[in-house]
């Protein structure tokens, strides 16, 4: 495994296997991803920049595999915007997927975020680009994409204006139809392991 040199004081502590199991019922989590999260869970890697079509994108911090019921270790870390809640819970995959917020709406279906491109932001408001697993084509072997927040919000408003029968599949109510995916998803890697191999040291 590569050492991504995450700053120790940014780590979130152990992952919550209960949360992993809950997420995996719909989104089977990559074993390589879980192995890396065991050592850099919620961390901010100093080897975290990937170039896509010549443009650099930075893994500013990994999202956590925690929720409000998780047992957190160490001192309480208040989130700057939700001061009654530990930031490790606020910046979790579960929080983004389960909240009724701009981000969860414009992730649509088949995408699972695992890292943010900026720190100290309100990730639920739909203005921070995210690294995501894309399960739409290969439900058990997701690819890695970048979710462009601003363009995703535009796509959501376009989709939301459609008649209801054009928005969802008759066979699967969780499957969103007629989404302009190509307008806001940037392909990065065919697997998490390939993604890790692409990472370079961050510029100072």
Q: What is the pLDDT of residues 100-140, one digit of tens each?
A: 888 999 999 999 999 999 998 889 888 999 999 999 999 99
| Alpha-carbon 61 to chain mean position | 10
pLDDT of residue 200: 97
- Is residue 66, in this structure, part of any structural domain at all? yes
pTM score, whole prediction:
0.94
Q: Write out the residue range of the structural domain in which residue 61 sits.
A: 8-201
Please report which confidence band the pLDDT of residue 2 belongs to, taking 50, 70 and 90 as the band edges: very high
- Is residue 2, in this structure, part of any structural domain at all? no
- Could you give the C-alpha distances from 25 to 28, 182, 196, in angstroms and in order? 7, 27, 25
- Residue, of 75 and 145, whose pLDDT is higher: 145
How many domains in the chain? 1
Tell me how far apart the alpha carbons of residues 104 and 113 are, in angstroms, rounded to a whole number: 10
Tell me how far apart the alpha carbons of residues 79 and 7 are, in angstroms, rounded to a whole number: 18
């Amino acid at each position: 495994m590569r050492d991504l040199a995450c700053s120790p004081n940014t780590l979130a502590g152990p992952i919550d296997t209960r949360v992993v199991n809950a997420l995996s019922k719909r989104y089977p989590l990559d074993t390589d991803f879980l192995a890396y999260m065991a050592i850099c869970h919620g961390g901010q890697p100093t080897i975290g920049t990937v170039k896509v079509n010549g443009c650099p994108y930075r893994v500013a911090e990994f999202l956590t595999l925690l929720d409000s019921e998780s047992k957190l270790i160490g001192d309480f870390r208040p989130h700057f915007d939700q001061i009654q809640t530990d930031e490790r819970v606020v910046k979790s995959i579960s929080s983004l997927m389960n909240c009724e917020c701009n981000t969860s709406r414009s992730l649509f279906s088949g995408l699972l975020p695992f890292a943010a491109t900026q720190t100290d932001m309100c990730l639920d408001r739909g203005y921070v680009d995210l690294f995501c697993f894309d399960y739409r084509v290969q439900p058990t072997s997701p690819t890695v994409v970048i979710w462009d927040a601003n363009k995703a919000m535009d796509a959501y408003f376009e989709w939301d204006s459609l008649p209801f029968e054009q928005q969802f599949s008759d066979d699967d109510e969780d499957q969103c139809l007629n989404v302009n995916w190509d307008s806001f998803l940037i392909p990065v890697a065919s697997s998490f392991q390939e993604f890790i191999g692409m990472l370079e040291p961050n510029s100072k």
